[in-house]
Chains A and B, each alone.
Chain A
Amino acid sequence: MKETTVFLIDDDSAMRKSIDYLIQSIGLRCQSYATAQEFLDGADPETPGCILTDVRMPGLSGLDLLEEMRGRAFLSPVIIITGHADVPMAVRAFKSGALDFIEKPFNDQMLLDKVQEAIELDVSRRTVLSQRATVMDRLGTLTTRETEVLERVIAGKANKEVAADLGLSEKTIEVHRSRVMKKMRALNAADLIRMVLEARQTPETIA
């Protein structure tokens, strides 16, 4: 995975520079942008981390950015910085998927805590997603027969039942089953079942 980064968007250059300075003081990488558009055009969605954005900005506002991001591949959690949070703004922000709000002026420790929480959340989300992708990739390598066997194993059937289901010998099922285990890199039957069920339960993206 790439180095985690805080993406900072604020049109006020002093705010931008000072938050950048604060974030770097705890050893985090920070990349800052003066407008939401610059961020959308310049930032790499693959980079894990979080997005810290001001609300009031010329052009796309922080809330517009949230809505814009939903249609794109940006996964990172968004923390909104605002001078004064009112209820309609909060509702719109949370509906559009904001993780959190920070009101200016803010306590530096609180900001950094929220940023770190957001980064951890993003990293674990991305881990889950990449695990899912790995499992899905491996499932893709199974033959039709192997898939048929896998489905029955997951359903909790013994080899004998699977053999009866598919009209094959138990011996043949054992061969298919060991190939499935190898291709899926599962340690045992329990591991195989957990891995496949988890991957299937995970949505393709996490908002």
Chain B
Amino acid sequence: MTLLPEQPADQESRIHPRDAGMGSRVSSTVVDALTAHIAILDASGLIVAVNRAWVRFAEENGGVAGKVGPGADYLAVCRRAAGVTQEAGQVERGIREVLAGSRDSFYMQYPCHSPTEQHWFQVRVTRCETSDGVRIVVAHENITEQKRAEAEARRYQAEMAHLLRLGMMNEMAGGLAHELNQPLAAIANFASGSLRYIKGGNTDPEMLGQALRDIARQAERAGEIVRSIRRFVRTSEGHRQAGEINRVIEEAVELHGSDGSEAGKIPVHLELGPGLPAVLMDEVQVQQVVMNLIRNAAEAMASDPAGASITIRSGRTDPEMVLVEVSDNGPGVSDEAIGRLFDPFFTTKDTGLGLGLSLSRSIIDAHGGELLVRRNADRGMTFVFTLPSFHGVTDR
């Protein structure tokens, strides 16, 4: 169903600048060349003139509800159509408001589906003052292609995200299998070894007790791996809203200092940039990233805490991107390790699973930013991440 003319308009009634009351500024040739279906109404809503596209569309959609060419009451046309599609009613209200001067223009998109095909249109209603009085330009345009492209892009994006996650999950699953195998195999060895000692008459409680403690510790390790996977799986489902990165950093630093550990005593210096734009983020996740970077830095220096310090800077790289740097002055990591830092289950620590940086990177990636590492000129490492500013996000 359409709001447009169902009957061919008269050849003579096509737009002429003078008829349309728009003066010689508008050439009828130009208006005819436009693909939008354009009608010009007078102050009472009567059609004064139409362009060639309007006529062609009317011809292709051969008449049902009377003539919708010059002289016809377009508001009445809309009213009749409103019985079939509610959008027609909205267009009528829009035109009335523009006619009344309560708004300068009106715009909407509406579906216009035939039984066999789906079509989308947009309508733009614009008011203009001419020497002959108020004129209203109604322009309908078929935006089906654009809509399809948008839907396609959305679907593609969703698929990509899905595939990306799937790929990551596959990689994770491989790593997970390997990582879970270790503690499980260790548990099995301690248990069956103990049985063999007992069978052989060796029931030294010291030795067997140690084996049981080892079993318990490995079971905990397996549990921690499972928990990490859960956390990883959850990272994509966060809730995002505009927030201040500096506040997130301050809270992370506070949490870091309050854990009572040796690493928690390493001082953190803040050099936070003033007047940073808001960031569209899941604050809990981003805070996890910041805390993770602080903890890594602190743990890297915990064995030699004299003079150790962490510096966190925030700023912006360009108007669209907010940047956070976490630097330490510790021993740094080897060239071999630096390339694998972000691999799942890679770790340089005795304890820990090697998921922190991998998780952090997936969180930052999911926010449209980047997490990178570089070696400091003097000592230690700097981790840098960017996040698009709130405007950067909405403008996309």
Contact = CB atoms under 8 A, between A and B. Distances in A.
B194 A105 contact: no
A104 interface: yes
Contact of B192 (A12, A15, A22, A84): A22
Among B182, B184, B197, residue most surrounded by chain A Cβ atoms (within 10 Å): B182
Interface in A1-52: 12, 14-15, 17-19, 21-22, 24-27
B80 to A, nearest CB: 71
Contact of A25 (B194, B217, B218): B194
Given A25-B193, A108-B192, A17 B177 contact: no
A27 B200 CA distance: 10
A17 B194 contact: no
B336 to A, nearest CB: 8
Q: Is the interface of B mostly helix, strand, loop or mixed?
A: helix
A24 B193 CA distance: 8
Interface of B: 177-178, 181-190, 192-194, 196-197, 200, 211, 214, 217-218, 221, 336
Nearest to B179: A83
A22 B193 contact: yes
Contacts of A56: 178
B181 A105 contact: yes
Contact of A106 (B185, B194, B196, B336): B185
B335 to A, nearest CB: 13
Nearest to A56: B178
Nearest to B174: A84
A12 B184 CA distance: 12
B184 A105 contact: yes
Contacts of A25: 192-194, 196-197, 200
Contacts of A18: 185-190, 193, 214, 218
12 contacts: A14-B182, A14-B186, A14-B214, A15-B186, A18-B189, A18-B218, A25-B200, A83-B178, A84-B178, A105-B184, A105-B185, A108-B188
B38 to A, nearest CB: 67
Nearest to B195: A25
Given A14-B218, A14-B221, A21-B190, A104 B185 contact: yes
Nearest to A103: B181
Nearest to A81: B185
B255 to A, nearest CB: 30
Contact of B186 (A17, A24, A26, A84): A17
A170 to B, nearest CB: 64
Nearest to A14: B186
Interface in A71-104: 83-84, 104
B181 A83 contact: yes
A15 B183 CA distance: 7
A190 to B, nearest CB: 45
Given A25-B200, A83-B178, A15 B185 contact: yes
Among B189, B192, B197, residue most surrounded by chain A Cβ atoms (within 10 Å): B189
Contacts of B177: 83-84
A18 B221 CA distance: 15
A21 B211 contact: yes
A122 B197 CA distance: 26
Given A17-B214, A25-B200, A58-B336, 18 more contacts: A12-B186, A14-B183, A14-B217, A15-B182, A18-B186, A18-B187, A18-B189, A18-B214, A18-B218, A19-B189, A21-B190, A22-B189, A25-B197, A83-B181, A84-B177, A84-B178, A104-B185, A105-B181
Contact of A104 (B181, B194, B197, B218): B181
Contacts of A84: 177-178
Contact of A12 (B182, B194, B211): B182
A104 B178 CA distance: 9
A67 B308 CA distance: 43
